[in-house]
Structure 1
Amino acid sequence: MALKAVPILDVPTLDHLPLPSPCVKHPPSFAVIGHRGHGMNSQSSSSTRENSILSFNTAGRLPNISFVEFDVQVTSDGVPVIFHDVFILTGDANGGVSERRVA
């Protein structure tokens, strides 16, 4: 499975990509997509954690996975992070990803 990184600043929105583009793939009529990679964050799960490098690599090695999908949120200090939800529930430090700082 080949991966291509596209700097976020180079692609403001996907509709700005010229067609044909090496970044836009034409999937087969049926595609299996590894949502958040191949893992779970449930307390009872012994599986790989979702949205981790390990989960993306694991999904990429599966023969029936065509793509890996993940969500990118931007923190208040402008750092893109891979996180599915816009809101973090951690118990006593709940809040939006966009309200948090990485540094």
Structure 2
Amino acid sequence: MPCLCNNRESFNDDICGTFLLTAGMSLTVYAIDSSAPAIPPLPISGSVIVRAISGGNVDVTVRNSIGASIDSFTVPVGSTFTRTYGDIGFVALLNNTSSAAGEYGLSLHY
């Protein structure tokens, strides 16, 4: 009997967009539905890319599938940051000082 694990298909999602945040505004760009059964089973791994194009700096918060904070970082204007995680459950962007504009991308692997 062949091993079923070798036949598992992988799935990928790419989520991309632009943002314009005013001071104190946050934007959730990804959140898993914790009320739904996990199909396929968690964790979901992937990369988060944020580019701050104009305005102020952008703060990024990343949590895992059970809601625990696993990372937070600031992207200065004119910079692009990319980080890879083994378990992504939530990603949000925040601007505390002035307006900020940029782009974000998530590459998720199930």
**Could you say which structure has the higher helix fraction?**
1
- What's the TM-score once normalised by structure 1's chain length? 0.26
Q: RCO (CA 8 Å, sep 6+): is it higher in 1 or 2?
A: 2
**Could you say which structure has the higher strand fraction?**
2
